Structure 1
């Protein structure tokens, strides 16, 4: 039987507010908020309702009830809307069921996304010296400010990979950022299709066998290094798919442009990409009517995006396996719980 709630708890803001980290998990935020105010996490949770003892946020995400979300917003000194905007795990789709006996839970498997360590320098700029954790749709993050690659490794010896001498990885992330800015939500499904094409092409060679990545693979492990070794190719594929997709969605893709795209792109990436690029090309023919509003995310309710494009609008933590329209759904080197 759950402990009775004390309705007077959690109705006053804690003394010290906490700055948000982009993409932070709810569990990480609650843990940091408690530390910021020099209080145990369990004590803060008791001000949010009733539930199990806290779990280290490096292992899973924390999910809360509507009641606990309201109490947490009050404790943090923000509105519920502000909290939802900054912490994906507090959005309605991730709330606990209304009939749940507890006000929070820490399931072994996060319902969506990967737990990825935040850049420690970014966390320090926001007032925390302890590790902070993000909940992301991919098992890695590139911090362009500090040139660091973090992932869902739990390594204390190598919590991040320094990109100071890996300029191609930095350029790849910059390229992906430009694509997402230009395509809006569609940028995510284009990236997912590029992942699927990469898998199908067989472009998954062992990084330990290449001179460029061999030393890093020997130090960190081949599986951890493989996404970095493939990242530049992945971004280039995404760029080429985006070139066609942005014209298609804006309704300005002509038949000549469409026909010329496949041989040009196949030549650029090599013969092993011929078959998956051909399949993708057939599934992305010019639209009779474009959807120019898609890049801003403001699509009229009357527009059936899936029917028109073959893709659904992505939710914030949707993995590439759910977003791609291609049949090869495994991500290159999926790293879920690889290092636990």
Structure 2
């Protein structure tokens, strides 16, 4: 009597895992070549070589169904866990699977090492398909980042609790504001990074202390982490400004004009850095307000209907200069500010 074929071993995906990483782990758990898993999912002919660090696997809906059966998961479970399944696969009924190089809008990250330590199915390196160049694991207090440009791929935040708290605040801001929040955070990070580079605001005390904890000194790779808590505060203040601009109102009912001095003072107070704001920190914020000015004539603004009750807590529709929102990729590319970290800080008066 012939022995029955061994039953396939199922696999639960890591939240945020790339499809290529998941396929490779499923193959390893079942002691099978990756090519066999791809053929079972729907590849016709010779399966393409798969390097999850360089390539991603995009699946037609029918291929998602087949992969779910092999992994003992539901297609819905896979779609919730694997981010690139949300992206149009560019496949058809004849080509159910496409393996292609990663697009620049995606970043391959290593997941939190402490999260993975709780699992017993990590038979091959797990890779995340991230829409951002960095993430924060709030459960274990770790900063996950793209290490291709130097620096570590993970940073312990045990002594940098303000970063973890700021990430939670950022998540709440994104829920309240909607997709437009990402553009505001991008602008806020650019402003904060400019302050760091020009040694203004918290560069000599708050940020220098965080750099001491990290064991670095003035390293470009660490800037998004070092300034993140203050960048979230600035993004929150930008959301207040934009909610009022949406209804043709200057901040705190101030006098009409391109620059709201009252708002800039408000930001300095929220940061706990009023002196630094007066001594030069205002310049980058003024650049931002020039791009986000109210263009409607005062007469037209006065004739507008008043905003509805609760408008300060409603979601924000994108406004100029952010009509086209970038949902993933380098955060700086979503900013309306032309200045970039590492360039000369010029033209700010």
Structure-1-length-normalised TM-score: 0.71
Which aligned pairs between 1:56-205 and structure 2 lie closer than 5 A?
57-65=52-60, 68-93=63-88, 95-96=89-90, 98=92, 103-107=97-101, 109-129=102-122, 130-153=124-147, 159-199=153-193, 201-204=194-197
Q: CA deviation at 1:18?
A: 2.9
- Give the CA deviation at 1:266: 4.9
> 1:273 maps to which residue?
281
- Structure 2 match to 1:26: 19
Pairing partner for 2:334 from 290, 312, 323: 323
In the superposition, relative to structure 1, how do residues 183 and 218 fare at CA in structure 2: closer, same or farther (>3 Å)?
Answer: closer
Conserved 8 A contact 2:24-2:34:
yes
1:119 positional shift: 0.6
Aligned to 1:112, what secondary structure does the other structure show? coil
Quick one: which of 17, 28, 35 aligns to 1:35? Answer: 28
CA distance in 2, matches of 1:73, 1:296: 38
* Distance apart, 1:82 and its partner CA: 4.3
Deviates more, 1:286-295 or 1:181-190: 286-295
Change (3 A) 1:68 1:168: same
* Structure 2 residue aligned with 1:4: none
More displaced stretch, 63-72 vs 127-136? 63-72
Match of 1:230 among 220, 227, 230: 227
Per-residue CA distance 1:219-240 (angstroms, 9 max, x = gap): 9x93443332222232222222
Asked if the contact 1:141–1:149 (Cα under 8 Å) also holds between the matched residues in 2, the reply is yes
Matched residues in 1 for 2:198 and 2:283: separation? 18
SS at match of 1:47: helix
What residue ranges of structure 1 are gaps of 5+ in the alignment? 1-13, 300-304, 334-340
Q: Is the 8 A contact 1:73 1:83 kept in 2?
A: yes
Equivalent residue of 1:53, what SS?
coil
Is the 2:13–2:78 Cα contact (8 Å) retained in structure 1? Answer: no
1:245 maps to 2:247 = no
How far is the alpha carbon of 1:144 from its aligned partner?
A: 0.9
User: In structure 2, what is the Cα distance between the partners aligned to 1:21 and 1:311?
Assistant: 33
The TM-score with structure 2 as length reference comes to: 0.69
Say if 1:117 and 1:255 are closer, same or farther in 2 by CA, change over 3 A: closer
Q: 1:317/1:166 Cα in 2 relative to 1: closer, same or farther (>3 Å)?
A: same
How many residue pairs get matched?
305
Evaluate the alpha carbon distance shift between residue 133 and residue 181 of structure 1 in structure 2; reply closer, same or farther with a 3 A threshold: same
Q: Is the 8 A contact 2:91 2:98 kept in 1?
A: no
Mapped contact 2:237–2:267 kept (Cα < 8 A): yes
Provide Cα deviations, 1:10-33, integer angstroms capped at 9, x if missing partner. xxxx84433333322222222233
What is the Cα deviation at residue 115 of structure 1?
Answer: 0.9
3-state DSSP of counterpart to 1:170: helix
1:179 to 1:126, Cα distance in 2 relative to 1, 3 A: farther
